[in-house]
Chains A and B, each alone.
Chain A
């Protein structure tokens, strides 16, 4: 089948790739670009492990064709830190022990990032609801929610400091 020229940025780097139409954004990020931080759990939209942001909005990259991401700005877990300085969400997940095996963590962090940027003052109930599309088989969620709430506070103070 005819390949499509797809141009997008991933973590601010420009990519121009020839992709088969059937390739999902997830497959292209992992296999063509080599960014394996984004995980594949279910591949049917149910687990959230593949969450990335596209133009700032969180999506399950397993259900989006790479061709549909043409012209868009994509962010993955690899683009979160600046140099050796971690994003508040990354700090908080480490401090609060918001992970065990870590497989679900990139998805939780990217989903939380998009949500907190839209809702900086979200309550715990709102955060729990917003993360309903992310599944963790290890932690029991308590530590994850603690981490996200603590990150929200860090993000608010960082915003005030600016």
Chain B
């Protein structure tokens, strides 16, 4: 690993100015679990690195009935997985976080890093899509907020501009009559990347679907919402035939590739199987 200049600012403002001063050459460091692997393999050789670790308040989890869930960008996967608020109300996110690497990795890896790395297979993004997460972003130009749906551009590419820091994620409050679930399709029980990731959130009222969101990971160039499937489900009861129709629509909306891990055909068929399973499991949690 080549040497670099390391900056450890204690405020967002200071971090933003350091990033601006260093032009395109400065890299934001969070937990380092994606970055250090790349640096060691020589894939990237940063000249300056700005660590967010010394900025206080960036790793807090807060819930408010009116404003919802707010998670700092530097929050560790392990903290998300162990938060009772997230486990109870945003179950699919706790499940997604608990799927990342090993405990040792999750004690380092952050939520901001998982999103900003922009891997289509990142384990928290399908859940963040179904919870309608808003990303709060800071830079020397000020602050902006964008929905996570508009954040991903392609594999490894996001709409984040150089020098922008994801400071917080905010998810709207959860209705009481709702449940969510995340399924990661993998070979090894732990330490495996998702072949496919499916998250769902279901809200029922008087036995029919009042609202539903489905997020798919690793089956398109970016994580996507299966909106066609959502529309089929809305206003209906979760009968076998409606579930089958919706699951097929989700598979239809995916555009997976074949790689070393499995074929596109397998992925597409498994989207169908897992979408149905995820919705059933989400509804069973209500």
Query: Taking beta carbons and an 8 Å cutoff, which residues of A are in contact with B?
Result: 1-2, 4, 20-22, 24, 43-46, 48, 51, 54, 57-60, 62-65, 67-68, 111, 114-115, 129-130, 132-134
Contacts and interface: CB of A to CB of B under 8 A. Distances in A.
B33 interface: yes
Interface stretch (B96-104, B126-134, B172-180, B261-269): B96-104
A20 B51 CA distance: 15
Given A21-B4, A59-B108, 13 more contacts: A22-B2, A45-B105, A58-B103, A58-B104, A60-B104, A60-B105, A63-B37, A65-B51, A67-B51, A129-B189, A133-B103, A133-B191, A134-B102
B260 interface: no
- Chain B interface size band reads 20 to 34
A116 B190 CA distance: 19
Contacts of A63: 32-33, 36-37, 105, 108
B5 A21 contact: yes
Nearest to A132: B190
Nearest to B54: A70
Interface in B38-71: 39-41, 49, 51, 53
A51 B5 contact: no
A67 B6 contact: yes
Contacts of B49: 21
B145 interface: no
13 contacts: A21-B4, A21-B5, A44-B37, A59-B108, A62-B36, A63-B105, A64-B36, A68-B32, A114-B103, A115-B103, A132-B188, A133-B105, A133-B191
Contacts of B225: none
Nearest to B6: A21
Contacts of B88: none
Given A21-B49, A46-B191, A129-B189, A1 B3 contact: yes
B155 to A, nearest CB: 20
Nearest to B102: A133
B5 to A, nearest CB: 6
Given A22-B1, A57-B78, A58-B107, A67 B8 contact: yes
Interface SS of chain A: helix, strand, loop or mixed? Answer: mixed
The 8 closest A-B pairs by CB, nearest first: A133-B102, A132-B190, A21-B6, A57-B107, A1-B3, A60-B104, A22-B1, A22-B3
Nearest to A110: B104
Contact of B104 (A1, A59, A67, A129): A59
B5 A1 contact: yes
Contacts of A67: 6, 8, 51
A44 B40 contact: yes
A2 B37 CA distance: 22
B110 to A, nearest CB: 12
Interface string B1-36: 111111010000000000000000000010011001
A132 B189 contact: yes
A4 B6 contact: yes
A68 B33 CA distance: 13
